[in-house]
Amino acid sequence: MRNQRSFSLESKRRVVEELMSGESRPAQLCRRYNITSSVLYHWKKQYSRGKFNNEPTEEGALQDRIEKLERLVGKLTLENEFLKRGLQHSLSQFQRNGKSSLGSSTSSGISGGGVD
């Protein structure tokens, strides 16, 4: 089994900055530093989000915001589905107990109380 290498934040940042400056092509950097292209582009994504002690790019900051909002939408969707199922379950139990009309006793008292 191969040992996993680790690169310092500074060396990752240096490689990505070299890529972004156009000094070297991605294939050249991969060969020079003996990394895969997926690692290189993962570092580039991290760099754009400010993970290497640098200022995040505007695109990276917006991408982070989008991902946070997508996670929130997912969480709220799950909550909504859970609550819908709970309500459906409660209504079906309520109807099975022979009380098929909700609030029939209260609606008759309200309808006669109008102001002339």
Task: Determine whether 57 is exposed, middle or buried from the number of CB atoms within 10 Å of its CB (0-12, 13-18, 19+).
Answer: middle
What is the predicted pLDDT for the residue at 1?
A: 62
Written out in words, the top-level CATH class of the domain with range 8-56 is mainly alpha
pLDDT for 49 equals 82
Written as one letter, the residue type at 5 is R
Residue 54 is predicted with a pLDDT of: 82
pTM for this one?
A: 0.52
- Of the candidates 59, 62, 16, which has an alpha carbon nearest to the alpha carbon of residue 40? 16
Given a cut of 70, the residues of the chain with pLDDT beneath it are 1-2, 99-116
Of 29, 69, 65, 70, nearest in space to 49 by CA? 65
